[in-house]
Structure 1
């Protein structure tokens, strides 16, 4: 069954998602809507979510880095992960567990780490 993601647009939504990672893993996808590499990574991310492999006990969020710059910056600060896009970050217990960026964001790579 396809797994849905939620787009977060405010620092408050990010803080809530980060707090939730204390009890459920959180996958953050940082997406640049003007970048072809990010468009490819977005397709890989959504392919993973639609593949049936995505864990229903994990929360998935998307941040558009240009449109929601303060959120993107706060994520970088809170996870101590230098901003890049496209970028995927797995957060557990309110801390970065794994990250990948650019061409490393593939459905196969996501599945290998999360499953």
Structure 2
């Protein structure tokens, strides 16, 4: 494996999330309503990812390598922006956030409590924000 692939990922993976995090694939608009319901019980996180963007791929790999939250603390959802731009637009409208890619959005009780994009996506900072919100 080349150094480029170690940093940016293998082109065969196309940025598909790894098994390090038990992602729920966000593929249907109705899942947003389900996520809001879940956010009344625990924090929900959306990771919006562009599978053609090396910056997005790098942010995803970095996030996954440092992610330590349990499934009881956070319910993680993964959104492939290229396949589901309609869902991304619905997230932006519903939670009052500007569309970014890559982007991490955390919701609690149906409201956005934290959002970051690009190089600001940090699993350890998310862990701090989750602790503060609970």
- TM-score normalised by length of structure 2: 0.76
Matched residue SS, 2:125: helix
Give the TM-score of the pair, scaled to structure 1. Answer: 0.87
Deviation at 1:21, TM superposition (A): 0.6
- Using the alignment, how far apart are the partners of 2:56 and 2:66 within structure 1? 15
Give the number of the structure whose alpha-carbon radius of gyration is greater. Answer: 2
Find the counterpart in structure 1 of residue 107 from structure 2. 91
Task: Kindly state the Cα deviation for residue 17 of structure 1 after the two structures are TM-superposed.
Answer: 1.1
Q: Which has the higher contact order (CA 8 A, sep 6+)?
A: 1
Task: Say yes or no: does 1:59 pair with 2:75.
Answer: yes
Q: In 2, Cα distance between the equivalents of 1:24 and 1:107?
A: 17
SS in 1 for 2:55: helix
Q: What is the deviation of 1:63?
A: 0.5
CA contact (8 A) 1:48 1:110 kept: no
User: 1:3 touches 1:56 (CA, 8 Å); kept in 2?
Assistant: no
Deviations 1:22-56 (A, max 9, x none): 1111011000111111001111222233xxx2132
Aligned mate of 2:62, from 37, 41, 44:
44
* Root-mean-square deviation (Å): 1.5
- The 1:56–1:97 alpha-carbon spacing in structure 2 relative to 1, beyond 3 Å, is same
**Alignment check: 8 A CA contact 1:48 1:54 kept:** no
- CA deviations 1:45-72 (Å, max 9, x no partner) are 22233xxx21321100001111101111
- Which runs of no fewer than 5 residues in structure 2 stay unpaired? 1-19
Superposition misfits of 4+ residues, deviation over 2 angstroms: 106-115
1:3 to partner: Cα distance: 4.2
Q: Which residue does 2:6 correspond to in 1?
A: none
